[in-house]
Amino acid sequence: MEQQRKLVNVTRIPIRWGDMDAYGHVNNTVYFRFMEQARVEWVEALQVPVRPGGAGPVIINASCTFLIPMNYPGTVEVRTYTDAPGRSSVQTHVEMRIEGDDKIYAQGAAKVVWMDTQTGKSVPLPDHVRKAIA
């Protein structure tokens, strides 16, 4: 049974001409940039500073399934969802659509782990982050 997912962020990103590849559609690597930008905006909205020497979010895996090619011009809507948080991590899921179109063009996921950047060890999710995603 699929866990209950919570919508935590919606990001809109314009497709740039240079995002396309020789086949005339958005290159597969760009989808990971779209997911990265959405994740950064979500973390910033949680008021989590990303800085060397502190604790913060890192991803330990990322995946993307490409369902329908995206093309220029257009605006990608990236919807980020979370599963229930663990001790030090949360599984995120994304759906990418073209603004104005309800079809899902791509689906992705990334596991986000809170880490002490000095020790390289996982640490518990901050209370305010846990509260926001629980």
Residue span of the structural domain in which 66 resides: 6-133
Sign of CA dihedral 105, 111, 116, 117: negative
Q: Is 110 within the bounds of a domain?
A: yes
Q: How many domains are there within the chain?
A: 1
DSSP code at position 26: B
CA distance 98 to 81: 17
Query: pLDDT tens across 47-98, in order?
Result: 887 777 788 999 999 999 999 999 999 999 999 999 999 999 999 999 999 9
119 part of a folded domain:
yes
Q: How far apart are CA 64 and CA 33, in angstroms?
A: 11
Domain of 95, CATH number, reads 3.10.129.10
Q: Is residue 1 part of a domain?
A: no
The pLDDT confidence band at residue 2, using thresholds 50, 70 and 90, is low
How many whole angstroms separate alpha carbon 1 and alpha carbon 25? Answer: 35
In a domain, residue 67? The reply is yes
pLDDT for position 3:
62
